[in-house]
């Protein structure tokens, strides 16, 4: 079972508030690095691959490693991140794995923008993104984040999200169905944090 950073977009209701949805937009229950997700930028919403790729190829024509997650400090310091376009990965929750699998989501349910940094490769046109985190959580932001002049600290940890215990089914990125977010145990006893 591969557990790592993951997020969800279980409904597209309200996603149009971020812009026109591209063809191929569908609800997603288990978005993992390397997979495509809906990301809004100043230019609109597009499907982008999670794992920021540099615009250039490295020595010998090899592509540099993908960056799935970055901290605010890295975003300010690393040229690839510092020069990237700002984006909002559309999401309505994320997974936490310890001590048990949990789906964390806004209460009441809503689509939010996860703070992202985006690039498009000059070599093959692949549009990609990295998500920002603070070590404990993915960071959320509003549309003001898309302005490159907005301070990096405009992205912040989510508040008031509900934690719902889910099964190990969500632990595999190969699973992308409603069972991933189905509560187990007593779903009324979620935690707020």
- Asked if residue 179 belongs to a domain, the reply is no
* Least confident segment among 41-45, 142-146, 188-192: 188-192
Mean pLDDT of 149-165: 94
- d(CA 147, CA 121) in angstroms, rounded, equals 21
Residues in the chain: 193
Is residue 146's pLDDT more than 90?
A: yes
Q: In which domain, by residue range, is 46 found?
A: 7-92+111-160
CATH of the domain at 142: 3.90.1680.10
Q: What is the pLDDT of residues 40-78, one digit of tens each?
A: 999 999 999 999 987 765 555 566 678 999 999 999 999
Mean pLDDT of 27-46: 97
- Asked if residue 175 belongs to a domain, the reply is no
pLDDT of residue 123: 74
User: Which has the closest alpha carbon to 87: 120, 125, 122?
Assistant: 120
CA distances, 19 to each of 40, 143, 147 (Å): 7, 11, 16
pLDDT of residue 58: 56
Is residue 192's pLDDT more than 80?
A: no
Q: Which two tokens stand for residue 51?
A: 């794992």
User: Which has the closest alpha carbon to 128: 191, 81, 166?
Assistant: 81
pLDDT of residue 4: 87
pLDDT of residue 3: 79
Mean pLDDT of 177-184: 96
The CA-to-CA distance between both ends of the chain, in Å, stands at: 27
- Asked if residue 17 belongs to a domain, the reply is yes
- Asked if residue 98 belongs to a domain, the reply is no
- Asked if residue 105 belongs to a domain, the reply is no
- Asked if residue 176 belongs to a domain, the reply is no
Q: What is the pLDDT of residues 78-103, one digit of tens each?
A: 998 999 999 999 999 999 999 899 99
pLDDT of residue 2: 56
Average pLDDT over the chain, rounded to an integer: 90
- Asked if residue 71 belongs to a domain, the reply is yes
Rounded to two decimals, the pTM is 0.91
Into how many domains does the chain fold? 1
- Asked if residue 39 belongs to a domain, the reply is yes
pLDDT of residue 193: 42
Is residue 114's pLDDT more than 50?
A: yes
Is residue 9's pLDDT more than 60?
A: yes
- Pairing label, strands 44-50, 127-133: parallel
Is residue 149's pLDDT more than 70?
A: yes
């Amino acid at each position: 079972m591969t557990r790592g950073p993951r997020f969800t977009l279980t409904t597209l209701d309200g996603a149009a508030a971020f812009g026109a949805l591209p063809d191929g937009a569908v609800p997603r229950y288990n978005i993992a690095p390397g997979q495509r997700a809906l990301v809004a930028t100043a230019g609109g919403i597009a499907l982008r691959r999670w794992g920021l790729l540099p615009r250039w190829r490295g020595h010998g024509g090899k592509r540099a490693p993908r960056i799935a997650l970055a901290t605010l400090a890295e975003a300010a310091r690393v040229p690839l991140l510092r020069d990237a376009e700002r984006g909002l990965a559309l999401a309505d929750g994320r997974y936490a794995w310890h001590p048990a699998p949990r789906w964390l989501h806004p209460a009441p349910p809503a689509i939010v923008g996860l703070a992202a940094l985006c690039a498009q490769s000059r070599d093959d046109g692949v549009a990609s993104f990295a998500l920002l985190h603070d070590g404990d959580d993915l960071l959320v932001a509003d549309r003001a984040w898309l302005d490159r002049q907005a301070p990096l600290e405009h992205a912040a940890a989510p508040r008031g999200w509900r934690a719902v215990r889910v099964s190990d089914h969500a632990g595999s990125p190969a699973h992308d169905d409603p069972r991933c977010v189905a509560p187990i145990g007593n779903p009324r006893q979620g935690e707020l944090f």
